[in-house]
Amino acid sequence: MLEELRGVLIELSDYSTCSKIYQQAFDHYQLTFPEGRSGGPSFIPGGGFDLMRILTLVDLYNVLENYDQAIFSIKQGCRWLQGRGGQRYWDQCTDDREYDIPEVHLRTLEEGDIAPGCFVLDVNARQRLAISRIKTGDIDEGKVNFLGCTA
């Protein structure tokens, strides 16, 4: 149903309504599947709200120029799909060190800073994160993410 609504709303250029519906669905799936997957013998990422749906939500936020929400959705959504939804302390970081790549050391840390998490981030999510960062004016963080796309 979500995909059908998306197609119609995109055709009508009603990105705002589409983003609201996707956000509501995302919120619902996070509450229903707090571990980021369905239970039982079959493993279904996000209980059905998978990476492609998170990327769709991010794309909608980027089209609407709501780059901060796009950044938050990528970071929170990928964390949730990795089964780390409870690790909300990453939201305190104003950068993307949670998804830093070990081979790419571009970040200077101060004493007491949270160390990079080095969690895997899909290249499509990383690219969108880089674009969103650059659109907010955070060029340096955008570059870190673009370098991660090539590592």
Task: Tell me the mean pLDDT in the region 39-50.
Answer: 78
Question: pLDDT for 100-126, tens place per residue?
Answer: 887 766 677 788 888 889 899 999 999
Q: Residue 112 has which token pair?
A: 């007491």
Residue 49 lies in domain: 2-150
Decide which of 16 and 150 is more confident: 16
In angstroms and rounded to an integer, the radius of gyration of the C-alpha atoms of the chain is: 16
Q: Where residue 24 sits, what CATH number does that domain have?
A: 1.25.40
Number of domains comprising the chain: 1
Decide which of 106 and 78 is more confident: 78
Q: What is the pTM of this model?
A: 0.89
Q: Where are the alpha helices (DSSP H) in 12-50?
A: 15-32
For 120, phi and psi rounded to 5 degrees? -70, 140
Decide which of 4 and 20 is more confident: 20
Largest alpha-carbon pair distance within the chain? 51
Indicate if the pLDDT at residue 78 is higher than 70: yes
Residue 146: pLDDT band with limits 50, 70, 90: confident
Residue 45: pLDDT band with limits 50, 70, 90: confident
pLDDT at residue number 57: 97
